[in-house]
Structure 1
């Protein structure tokens, strides 16, 4: 009888906890989505400190994978434009070009950033 009483008491105490869920860590996509502000702020600060002539690999090591990548070849040179998120425009969960700053590389060397760099590289 005492065992049945303890079992009933334990079950009664656990019943309110049945709907509780504790989320310790989400998947990477969720944490990146929730962390866009700090990534964006970090990108802005890093871009302020950029120096021309840096290698593509050193930029990738510092900034991580770009949000958008474009590339083309002209006159025997390989052009790459990497876009990193630097400003918030829409809360749609998608990073678009108007929310980024472009970094322009010719033959894997940083030659400029911003829309002016794209204009000069594509003339």
Structure 2
């Protein structure tokens, strides 16, 4: 009797481990379906992983993080400058997402060139 229960227990744990591994490996997080606290943490983790050495374009960011919370764009001669903001820190519970609750990502012609607090300042200096 004990051997039978032990076998089922081991089998159940094995199936659980297999399912958990498959979910972790193949399930893509959807920022649009997350509650706001999880989405902030998700955005912050992704932005923290960005690197100057690894070129990142606007479409890659939009595909991974979804729609930005705030967006500004302008054309300066033949260059297109765009700064997008993703919420990364909660400041005030008023139902409105403001720039001070977000991290900005600055793109020049679709390529990420700067992110963080100075992104909007650099954007405003263009054109």
Same fold (TM over 0.5): yes
Superposition pairs of residues 22-37 of structure 1, within 5 angstroms:
35-37=35-37
**Paired residues of 2:57 and 2:111 also in contact (CA < 8 A):** yes
TM-score, with structure 1 as normaliser:
0.68
Conserved 8 A contact 1:104-1:118: yes
Segments of 4+ in structure 1 off by > 4 A? none
The gaps in structure 1 that reach 5 residues or longer are 1-31
Task: Tell me how large the CA RMSD over aligned residues is.
Answer: 1.9
Within a 5 Å distance, the mapping from 1:24-103 to structure 2 comes to: 35-52=35-52, 53-103=55-105
Residues 30-82 of structure 1: per-residue CA shift (max 9 Å, x gap): xx798110000111111000133311100011111000010011132000110
Aligned equivalents of 2:111, 2:34: Cα separation in 1:
32
Aligned length: 92
Deviation at 1:119, TM superposition (A): 2.8
